Chain A
Amino acid sequence: MKFKSLLAAILLVLATNLAAQAQENTKKYYATDYEKNPVWIDMMRDPSPNFDETVKAFREFWKDRILPEEPMEKANGTDNFELAVGLEKENETAEERAAERREKDEKLANQTGNEINYADEVRAFKGWFYYAQQWLKKDGTVMTMQEQQAIINKQQAELKQIENQNGNR
């Protein structure tokens, strides 16, 4: 019995340490790094930075680089992600968009192949960008999974109450 209690205590400490470790991993991000380093990768995985600041870090990094894209996006030309993160400008005409496309193609053709490919991180950022917009707090940070789950749990309890009231379930 004592052994089990001791083991449970050790596990609790270990688990607490894991959680604490995650807290300690909170980083500081410097705007001066945005342009030269992909700081946005860590920022999007960290709930502490301001959403707009993370988007800014992404924008600064990619403004003079070729954003990896997929063939259907290239063909369709209908993805407004670049506009949404500020890599394209508002009021852009179709001609300006075509010119931008030509410029990108030229840069792409001149790539050496030695650049680090961030295609999967860009995909991840795209998904994060739209997801995070929905879960922003007043201070501009993104709600943690636990905070999100708390809202959902409250809604489910609320719904359950209504359903019970209607004799459903």
Chain B
Amino acid sequence: MKNIFTLILFSFFGLSASAQLANWTPPHGTNFPTNLTGQINGICRINELVFHPTDTNKYYAVTPQGGLYLSTDQGANWTVAAGTENLTGYASSICIDRTNDQTILLGGGDFSYYNNGSGIYKSTNGGTSFSPTGLTSGIVGEILQHPTNALIFVASTNSGMVQSTDGGNTWAATTATNIPFSNLVIKPVTNSLTMYACTRETTPRFYRSFDFGTTWAQVTSGLGASTTFITNGSRIAVTAANPNIVYFEVIGGGGMMYRSTDGGTNFTLKKNEGQPFITFYDFDNNNGLGTQGHYNNCIWADQTDPSHIWLQSHCTWHSTDSGATWTRLTNWPFLVHTDMHQIVQAPFNNNKLYSCNDGGVWLSEDGGNTWTPKSNGMYSLEIGSNCGKSSKIRPDFTTIGTQDNGRLYGDSTAYFTIGGGDDYAKRVTDYNGNIYFDGDRRQLNHQGSTSLSFGLPTVNWNDIAFNRKNKNLAFIGENNVYRSTNLNAATPSWTQISTFNVAIRAVHSSIADSSKLYVLLNNGNIYVCNNALDAAPTFTLQTTPATASQTGSIVAMASNANHAYYCANDDIYETTNGGTVWTNITSNLPSVNHRRILAEEYGGTTGLVFVATNNAVYYRKTGAATWTNYSTNLPARRAPSDFSMFDDGTSQARIRYCSFGRGMWESPFSNLRELKAEIVVASDSTITCGSPTIQFADGSVGTNNTPITYAWSFPGGTPSSSSATQVNVTYPSNGTYTISLTVTDGLNNTSTKTISRFIQVINCAPDSVAGNAIVVNGGSNYVSIPPIAMGNTNTVTLSTWLKISSTQPAFSGIIFTSSGSACGLNFRNNNEIGYTFNNAASTYNYSGGPIIPTNEWTHVALVTTPTNATIYVNGESYVNNVGNASVDFSNSWTIGNDRANTSRTMTGELDEVCIYNRALSQSEIREQMHLTKNSTPSTTGLMAYYQSNEVSGSIVYDRAGTANGALQGTASSIKSTAPVGAGTSERQNVNTPSIYNFTTAGVTMTFTAPTTPQGEVCVTQINTLPDSLTTPNYNPASASKSYWAIHNYGSNQTFSPLSTITFAGYGTISATEASTPNIFKLYKRGSGAYLTSEWALNDTASAATSGATGVLTFDGNNITSYSQFNIQNDVQIPLAVELRSFTADCLADAIALNWQTLSEKNSAFFEIERSTDAKNWEAIGKQAAVGNSNATEYYTYVDQTAMRTELTYYRLRQVDAVNNTLYSNTINILCLKDAENDVYAYPVPITDVLNIRNKNKEEIKIYNAQGQIMYSGIDTKINTGSWASGVYILKTSTQSIQLLKE
């Protein structure tokens, strides 16, 4: 019988035996948010705070939207009452039975809004559950219990006073009917039956009862109403200090206060309407904002001083003369949250004054001057419609907009308030970490500035679609569709791509095929576009029976662009043919307007979708007859106001449900997926340095059949294997490393995740080449640096190379810190170099620095001492003789920016950023500026050193210390063209015509009369090649020293032509070459020049000495000034790259390409080319080459935009400095979502061993082109050494894969 009953139930609810449970929790805890604004913040809207009749620690707080909250520690912490979690009725008031605190009456409706009445509910178990009583409608503002008969209660409602004589089960009308009551109080005398009440009307009325609410009579003596600023509402206050005193407040007119001293028989006007407007935002209404009337008002009479009353209405006021005169204690944006609903003293301690408002419960213990929030746990944030979203790239980050409590974000630690007031700006998040708000403003990188335009030509957009596979792509739906393909631009550009001019409800860009776009219209029809990336896309209209007049959303499966769903109001439809036919699959969902439908963003082979509806979340997989409720632990109290997803394919994936009144909730959903091993790496970069310890954690999904075992493999790491769920692995040596995890569940299903060459460990010692430079782009796009252990000092050196192309914002920082309030190098107006030290006006007002030129590299430095500061520009000094006090350098730094002020970010390139805690001498500045900091003395006192030579990731490694920086926003790195490298320098004074031998730097010059430099000449020999070369056939392999930078600090910038100049140690010069010295060319370009075209042929060698350290002599007649020099050899040595391997691997969301070279000669860069047919190729990226090497070099490129579900071909175009090209072999790869469940063969083309991934041990057969079976079986390695070149076909029962052996 029991089984039959169960069967019936299963049948009734349409349940599947494999249904899994959700686990909904608040994503950022429930504590009061951390305030990052200058305005007061909050967490919930409180209607009423009530104290336990006898237990002084126990409080009850009623929130209209969030339900009932309980505290057992005087409000320090709150927990929600279970009884209101599934109760849809609003809550306004509460009464605890003084004889049995398990009996609670809960007044329904939203008293402040005076709306949504729902009568009275009763609990007999302390709030664990509530049931309706006989009063099922009405807004209940107050419920009071009879002082001697515990079964009698009186409640004030919007339509009269009602009374219960049976403990609140049934309610009867009193003589006060059809009256919109606001306050109800009892005379504060023991066992008093006298009650006072007032109304919410523009001419408010005062009522009195002498029989505990059975009969009521209006009192009018002395009372009036406002004639200006008329609004609804009145309030009453009484005091135990003098029970005959009754205060009656009229909210209109800016606040009128009456007082009765005879128990409410007669009243006297104490404050008339007019100023001060104590019920307004502003006491004189200068801001014109007036009042919010009944919504925002409360008064309380001091229980120890009958002449002292408080009034809260936007601001906190009090009067100590019975309401005649008033003093403002708090202004509405500060100290305590505004929108006041109750002010009350604790009955057991009159020094505890509580304010209940739209921010929560606040406590003042100094009479209302200062306030502290007491609202931890009151998780009742009212999130607006479409105002709560998950980051698409950070598992912990969300953004929400709330009624009354502004804009917040949440992360793994807490909620943070970043804006006040009402934030109803709908928002969406893209796959670059940016948030787009209503109108035309976006916030970059989650927490950057919110004031940046995203370039939209209109402001009233309805939805934006982004694409995980194409992160620069977006479609905006308004009345037409606009497209952007450059979201990463400072201001993206948009193109209107439709002309149908119909209101759009939602848009979706297919992950599987970014050319496929779905557009849902408000009228329920759908436009489908299959060429959304074309210049002129075409849209096909599909009419449907649905309407999306209120809500609607549309989504396609991540793995199948033609399998899509949409919800329109209360209907849900599915298509499996790209939108031609839609089938209604609403099934068992309630007939209400569904908020949104979501599809998992990775995978999708099971067609898993979620819908948030009133008031639950359901999921469905393809083919299921019904939807399955997935709402365990989700409060059913409030309907969804937004619904979003973070999905990275791992167990970190979350769906998030927002509500207007119970905040945001999240649930993992990995238990709905099939078993799949996934790895979560606690690092944002695959490149790291030193001997890093990296944390790997299990991120597997579908691990439902316990017990689960884990088998990790970390070749090259310590430990090299583990069975834990989370492992810290140390990599002691440089190299690239593969990680692998195999999970096995209780049914012996296994899944393996391998990420080949995922970790790249590099040497963090300073490089000896210019490498890359930092690119900063203004705004939020700079480099942040953590504090550097500089100590407390006034001797500091900051230096960098920089290149700008435009006028920089005034006071944009170059190298800056907030230590000492402000210290650093910066730009003043019109690119004048300046500085600040210890925030002293005498430093930031210094205007003796020169203008930094545009479009050339300039070396700038700041050196401070106790007595002065010197700015160096290309070694020339500019001194400000102002003393400097010591600064405690304990704060963070910024490169390209002044202290994170986004209006003070420069635009340009920086390289070789150095921070010393000592004052470098002028000589050191001049000698070291072209040199990388590889050895003393350049490393002495060098506390931080940023070469920015990393090729990927957002970390900028500190090559001198541990203060690694981070690229912010769109800041990036680019191949550096700065005149920098390892080498040597030497200075000499050149005052008379003679031979000057700069032995250390390898240059000898003969100066002639009549004009010599008359001062210091500094020669730097740079051991690397310049960034660009002129001679097409240049042979750099033999030139170990060919690049010099010479500076003339003498008084004569030009001088008489040299008679000879000799460069020693050029490199190997053969006897043949020595016999024809004119093959060696001397080129010259400006000191800060960086373009190839700027090199000018200066001379050809007149003599050459053969040998390993050859010497070249030029006559020097064309040299009358100094700058950069380079010697080039026009003997052609062709590009040669010996490729050792070239492989492709599937990553979670990309394809990693790895290759190694055994040797390289004259290699400039590798261009990665991609194709889907091995015929038509597109260049997708570049990777700088080492250039010349006889050691094994490792390269990695991650194709973030790979179409992983299609067979994709890759090849490398190897390019030298003058664009000679060689191509690598072609490889291909196919990354199916559940690749480990399919047969997968590699490498392709086939080598002598063919590897087979064949998880299900399915039999495979391989045929040659003639149809002969070459192999049959289930082996994972097949020896194919004897197979002839040609095409082979691998077949399983479901797959056919073409293989190629070359």
Contacts and interface: CB of A to CB of B under 8 A. Distances in A.
Interface string B505-519: 000000000000000
B166 interface: yes
A8 to B, nearest CB: 8
A141 B876 CA distance: 80
A102 interface: no
Contacts of B292: 68, 119-120, 123
Given A78-B438, A163-B21, A165-B17, A117 B458 contact: no
A19 B136 contact: yes
Contacts of B171: 14-15, 18
Given A68-B290, A72-B419, A127-B113, 5 more contacts: A18-B172, A124-B115, A138-B591, A156-B636, A162-B19
Contact of B135 (A18, A117, A166): A18
B478 A90 contact: yes
B421 A75 contact: yes
B384 A113 contact: no
B1283 interface: no
Contacts of B595: 134
B1098 interface: no
Contact of B422 (A18, A70, A92, A161): A70
Interface of A: 11-12, 14-15, 17-19, 21-22, 25, 44-45, 68, 70-73, 75-81, 83, 88, 90-94, 97, 108-109, 111, 113-121, 123-124, 127-128, 130-131, 133-138, 143, 145-146, 148-149, 151-156, 158-159, 161-163, 165-166, 168
Nearest to B289: A71
Contact of B592 (A68, A94, A143): A143
B550 A136 contact: yes
Contacts of A18: 134-135, 137, 162, 171-173
B1259 to A, nearest CB: 37
A90 B501 CA distance: 11
Contacts of B281: 71
B236 to A, nearest CB: 18
A149 B88 contact: yes
A151 B589 CA distance: 10
B616 interface: yes
B170 A11 contact: yes
Contact of B291 (A15, A114, A117): A117
5 contacts: A92-B459, A117-B230, A133-B593, A138-B591, A151-B615
Contact of B173 (A14, A88, A162): A14
B628 A162 contact: yes
B297 to A, nearest CB: 9
A44 B89 contact: no
B288 interface: yes
A93 B159 CA distance: 45
Contact of A72 (B21, B86, B230, B421): B421
Given A14-B173, A145-B89, A148-B88, A76 B115 contact: no
A61 to B, nearest CB: 16
A161 B422 CA distance: 40
A154 B618 CA distance: 14
B291 A119 contact: yes
Contacts of B457: 93
A61 B291 CA distance: 20
What class of interface size applies to chain B in its complex with A?
A: 35 or more
A79 B614 contact: no
Interface string B301-327: 000000000000000000000000000
Interface of B: 9-10, 13, 15, 17, 19-21, 86-89, 108, 110, 112-118, 134-138, 159, 162, 165-166, 170-173, 202, 227-233, 252, 281, 287-296, 384-385, 403, 406, 419-426, 437-441, 457-460, 478-479, 503, 550-551, 569-570, 590-593, 595, 614-616, 628-629, 631-632, 636, 639-641, 660
A123 B295 contact: yes
A138 B592 CA distance: 9
- The 8 A-B pairs of least Cβ separation, nearest first, read A72-B421, A120-B295, A78-B425, A124-B113, A15-B134, A117-B231, A14-B172, A134-B639
A119 B639 contact: no
B620 to A, nearest CB: 14
- Of the candidates B20, B87, B228, B424, the one having the most CB atoms from chain A within 10 angstroms of its own CB is B424
Contacts of A109: 288
Contacts of A121: 114, 232
A120 B458 contact: no
B421 A73 contact: yes
A78 B15 contact: no
A138 B595 CA distance: 16
B589 to A, nearest CB: 10
Given A78-B437, A117-B291, A158-B13, A149 B87 contact: yes
Contacts of B136: 19, 145-146
B669 to A, nearest CB: 15
A134 B660 CA distance: 11
A168 B117 CA distance: 35
A148 B590 CA distance: 10
A114 B230 contact: yes
B1219 to A, nearest CB: 46
A15 B135 contact: yes
B459 A93 contact: yes
A62 to B, nearest CB: 16
Contact of A133 (B108, B229, B550): B550
Contacts of B112: 120
Nearest to A111: B288
B1234 to A, nearest CB: 25
B172 A72 contact: no
A152 B166 contact: no
B423 A78 contact: yes
A131 B638 CA distance: 9
